[in-house]
A and B are shown apart, each in its own frame.
Chain A
Amino acid sequence: MQRYLISRVIQSIFLLGGVLVVVFFMIRLTGDPASLMVSRNASEEMREAFREKMGFNRPLYVQFSDYLYGVLQGDFGNSLHFKQPAREIILERLPATFQLATIALLGAVIIAVPIGIIGGSNPGSFVDSLGRALGLLGQTIPNFWLALILILVFAVNLRWFPTFGRDSYLSVVLPAIALGLGSMGQLVRLTRSAVLEIRNDDYIRTAKSKGISQLKIGLRHIARNTSLVLISVIGVIYSYLLGGSIYIEIIFSWPGLGSLLEQAIKSRDFPLVMGITITFSFFVIFINLLTDIAYAFIDPRIRYGG
């Protein structure tokens, strides 16, 4: 177990290092930073002064190690557009993105998993049909369209929720639904099929042959093995929701990292784009690591595998 954990942590660190390298050099590949960041009308002297000031005239590896050194201390450089440290802007926006993604995920899990379990345990029942319909809807409705419909119906017509912004606790409801519905659909289908499959596994027959009640079989034997399937997918979904919330954030003017990223790209604010990308990567890698650890706790085959 310990060896497994340590190796996963080391892997994650290397992965993050890889992301840093890729992000840094990709941005450089888009061209001379001076011509991208300085006004087109600027004179060559001004460009040179800019390079000098930003250190872009130094060798690339020096610039990279400089940047790396900064990142390790949590310094992503200054935003060109906002004229303040990128870190501060990112930290200010981060809670909103986490709030949205977390509520979307929790909502999806709380609705999808019970429906999936009940449906999978009683194929052909009403709950099963409901679950399959939800699964299909969730995965086929485009969420930008859903977002607009939700705004039209629940914010504009019914006036139950605000149309945009993040001013009250009600604000999160519509964006969370728009963001989480697809994941909910995916989770319903996955839970249902996992339960359906596990129900027919030989060890469930063994449990039945022991005279254990249906409920205990469900709780002790089916639930744990189903959670193995779910945990890995929930981890992936969470990182998808964090990073995939960009256009939902834009539609709802949600002050999170996604809408910040859009602004940063539009204003060619490269230090900020890099900072946001690295922040997203950090959390995705971190969530994956947590997923693997949770998985190891539940699955003895990994725990003792080395």
Chain B
Amino acid sequence: MILQVKDLITRFYSVDGVVYALNGVNFALNAGETLAVVGESGSGKSVTMMSLLGLIPQPPGKIEGGQAFLFENDKPQDLLKLSERQVRRVRGGQIGFIFQDPISSLNPTMTIGKQIAESMIEHLSLSQSDARKRTVDLLKEVGIADADRRFDSYPHEFSGGMRQRVMIAIAVACQPRIVIADEPTTALDVTVQAQIIELIQRLQKQLGIAVIWITHDLAVVASMADRVLVMYGGTVVEDALVEDLFDNPQHPYTIGLLKAIPGATGLGEERLESIEGSPPDLLRELTSCPFAPRCQFVFDQCWAKLPPLISVTKHHRAACFYDVENEIPRKEVEHG
């Protein structure tokens, strides 16, 4: 295990009131694995990752509780308690980021080479010329032809896919142990998406990086993830190995989500299923299961309190009081 997040709570104090964005997020990340984080917009996927590294705008955002241990040689270090200077060494150094929109995520007035070299100079204390050399190598590595000349190009001279390659180069420039990819293919053409996924997977193997992959796309999840977190209403509702999640989903929300994939049953002709109701109102504090109002299996206990993640098997946990499979309430044994 290289990262463990416990009961992470983040709120935004907006003019409309308090937005309860994260309501106790729990998950762990193992070295070298690919962890997919799925969920609808507003479920807290990005906010979770931003909170870990102090990237949410504060104010209005505020991290109000929880711990996030980054393990280095089995020594835990709570990211949420680091000083600004210490957290900067983690950002880019230990944990790299790839953002969704490669067009707006690069500085339009700085050459792409400098934008990559910048973090090497910062974290690895390289000289300008060494950083340039390594950047050119890295550009070749991420599949940019004529890298030596392209070092001095500006972002507007690149296509969307090429810019995302540059973003990837920035993320892995200092050989981090974790890369957080926030919907890295959403803004790209379908034809380019597969190339970018392949590239990230290749670098992941080469460099032994653990990847946290935030996405809407369950097809991507199925093809590349080792493990999946399903998020809903600012909480993790299910945490499972990818095959368990698709074969044996435990949370009613996950079940609904999988039914809503076009062609999931193999028959293209039936109507697509959707989940009735609307996502939870984050302006109210969660005191019960966030999915209860939309859940067909709802019973008294669901309204009484927020369900914790309950172990189903060794590697499978769901935040639900009801065992859908056996149609009985689940025995509540909280899992550490």
Interface residues of A (CB under 8 A from B): 200-203, 205-214, 216, 220-221, 224-225, 228, 298-301, 304
Contacts and interface: CB of A to CB of B under 8 A. Distances in A.
Contacts of B223: none
A203 B119 contact: no
A298 B170 CA distance: 23
A66 to B, nearest CB: 49
Contacts of A225: 107-109
Contact of B105 (A202, A211, A220, A300): A202
Contacts of B106: 203, 206
Contacts of B101: 202
Interface string B94-124: 0011010100111111110001001100110
Interface of B: 53, 55, 57, 84, 88-93, 96-97, 99, 101, 104-111, 115, 118-119, 122-123, 154, 156-157, 167, 170, 173
Instruction: From A200, A210, A216, A298, name the one whose CB has the most chain B CB atoms within 10 angstroms.
Output: A210
B105 A203 contact: yes
A201 B88 CA distance: 19
Contacts of B105: 202-203, 205-206
Contacts of B97: 206, 209
Given A208-B55, A224-B110, A299-B108, 8 more contacts: A205-B55, A206-B97, A206-B99, A206-B106, A210-B91, A211-B90, A211-B123, A301-B156
Given A206-B167, A224-B109, A304 B154 contact: yes
13 contacts: A201-B104, A202-B105, A205-B105, A206-B107, A210-B92, A210-B173, A213-B122, A214-B84, A216-B122, A220-B118, A225-B108, A300-B108, A300-B111
A211 B154 contact: no
Contacts of B107: 203, 206-207, 221, 225
Nearest to A212: B122
Q: Is the interface of A mostly helix, strand, loop or mixed?
A: helix
Given A200-B57, A300-B154, A211 B93 contact: yes
Nearest to B103: A202
A129 B139 CA distance: 45
Contacts of B156: 300-301, 304
A134 to B, nearest CB: 24
Given A202-B99, A221-B110, A300-B109, A211 B157 contact: no
A211 B99 contact: no
Contacts of A202: 99, 101, 104-105
Contacts of B119: 210-212
Contacts of B110: 220-221, 224
A209 B154 contact: no
Contacts of B53: 209
A200 B58 CA distance: 12
